[in-house]
């Protein structure tokens, strides 16, 4: 890839990461605090750090691959190969997140169509 293309993609990834941070904070607030999120659209990876209530240190979550698919008017994200710094959470993620479709709210799906 060219330097300009890499630079543009990295800028897009930072902007998407900031957007995901805002959305993720709302989702995670019941359980703790979303400390950091990094998206790599080229590698299709997402890294998160979450400080859960009652935990002394943040946990690290690595989504090693994600896919965004469209079906009719709806868009979905599918997570694959999730690694978590706590073994029991990795098992929970494999059981309840891996390979399952999660609908992206319509207002954000339109934004993704423009950006991705």
pLDDT in tens, the chain (116 residues): 576 766 666 777 777 777 777 777 887 899 999 999 998 888 999 999 999 999 999 999 999 999 888 888 888 889 999 999 999 999 999 999 999 998 887 776 666 655 55
Query: Is residue 49 within 8 Å of 26, Cβ to Cβ?
Result: no
Predicted model pTM: 0.77
């Amino acid at each position: 890839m060219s330097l300009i293309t890499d630079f543009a993609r990295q800028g897009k990834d930072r902007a998407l990461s900031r957007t995901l941070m805002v959305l993720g904070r709302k989702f995670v607030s019941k359980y703790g605090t979303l400390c950091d999120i990094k998206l790599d659209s080229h590698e299709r990876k997402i890294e998160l750090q979450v400080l859960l209530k009652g935990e002394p240190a943040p946990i690290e979550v690595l989504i090693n691959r994600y896919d965004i698919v469209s079906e009719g008017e709806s868009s979905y994200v599918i997570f694959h190969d999730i690694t978590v710094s706590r073994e029991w959470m990795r098992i929970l993620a494999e059981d309840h997140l891996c390979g399952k479709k999660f609908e992206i709210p319509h207002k954000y799906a339109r934004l993704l169509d423009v950006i991705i």
